[in-house]
Structure 1
Amino acid sequence: MYFYKRLACAVGCLLLVACQPETPVTFKFIPVYNGAPIECEKTWQHQQQTGWQIRTLQFFVTNLTLENDMQKQEFSLQTTVNSNPTIGLVGGQCQQSDYWQLSALSAPDFEEGTLSFDLGVPFELNHNNPLRAPAPLDQADMFWSWQMGHKFLRLDVANPSDARSFSYHLGSTGCDAVSSLRAPKTPCQHPNLVTITLKDFKVNQPIYLDLAVLLKDVTLNQDNRCMSEQNNPVCLRLFGQLQRDKVFYQ
Structure 2
Amino acid sequence: MSLVVMAAALFAAAPSVTPSADSLTPITIRMQAMVGNTPFQCGKEYPGIGTSGATITASDFRFYVHNVRLVTARGDTVRAAMAPQSPWQDREIALVDFENGAATCANGTPEMHPEFTVLAPAGDYQGVAFTVGVPFARNHSDMATQGPPLSLSRLFWSWNAGYKFLRVDMRATRPDSAATAWVIHLGSTGCTGAPGAKAPTSCTHGNRPEIALSGFNPTRDVIVADLGALLSRSDVRRNQPQTAMGCMAAPNDADCGGLFASLGLTHPNTTGADTPKFFRVERATATSSSR
Shorter-chain TM band: 0.7 to 0.9
| Aligned mates of 1:246, 1:111 — CA distance in 2 | 26
Aligned twin of 2:215:
200
Aligned twin of 2:183:
167
Helix, strand or coil for the counterpart of 1:230? Answer: coil
Query: Residues 235 and 29 (structure 1 numbering): CA distance in 2 closer, same or farther, change over 3 Å?
Result: same
Equivalent of 2:158, from 124, 130, 145? 145
Q: Can you give the 5+ residue segments of structure 2 that lack an aligned partner in the other structure? A: 1-23, 241-245, 265-272, 282-291
The offset of 1:120, in angstroms, is: 0.8
Equivalent of 1:60, from 37, 52, 64? 64
Q: C-alpha offsets along residues 152-190 of structure 1, whole Å, 9 cap, x if unaligned?
A: 1011012478222210100001101379x9421x22111
The offset of 1:103, in angstroms, is: 1.6
Q: C-alpha offsets along residues 124-177 of structure 1, whole Å, 9 cap, x if unaligned?
A: 110011111121111111111111111110110124782222101000011013
CA contact (8 A) 1:61 1:119 kept: yes
Equivalent of 1:246, from 259, 277, 283? 277
Equivalent of 2:87, from 63, 67, 81? 81
Aligned length: 226
Aligned twin of 2:7:
none
| Aligned mates of 1:155, 1:222 — CA distance in 2 | 16
In the superposition, the TM-score normalised over structure 2's length comes to 0.71
Equivalent of 1:37, from 39, 57, 67? 39
The share of aligned pairs that are identical, in percent, is 30
| Aligned mates of 2:34, 2:209 — CA distance in 1 | 20
Task: State which structure, 1 or 2, has the greater radius of gyration over its C-alpha atoms.
Answer: 1
Equivalent of 1:26, from 22, 25, 28? 28
Aligned twin of 1:136:
149
| Aligned mates of 1:66, 1:74 — CA distance in 2 | 6
| Aligned mates of 1:121, 1:153 — CA distance in 2 | 10
Q: C-alpha offsets along residues 173-221 of structure 1, whole Å, 9 cap, x if unaligned?
A: 1101379x9421x221111111011111111432101111110121114
Aligned pairs for 1:71-150 (under 5 A) are: 71-79=76-84, 80-91=86-97, 92=99, 94-95=105-106, 96-97=109-110, 98-104=112-118, 106-150=119-163
The offset of 1:222, in angstroms, is: 6.2
| Aligned mates of 1:143, 1:221 — CA distance in 2 | 26
| Aligned mates of 2:39, 2:124 — CA distance in 1 | 25
Q: Can you give the 5+ residue segments of structure 1 that lack an aligned partner in the other structure? A: 1-21
The residue identity in structure 2 corresponding to 1:76 is A
Moved over 4 A (4+): none
| Aligned mates of 2:172, 2:147 — CA distance in 1 | 35
| Aligned mates of 2:262, 2:255 — CA distance in 1 | 11
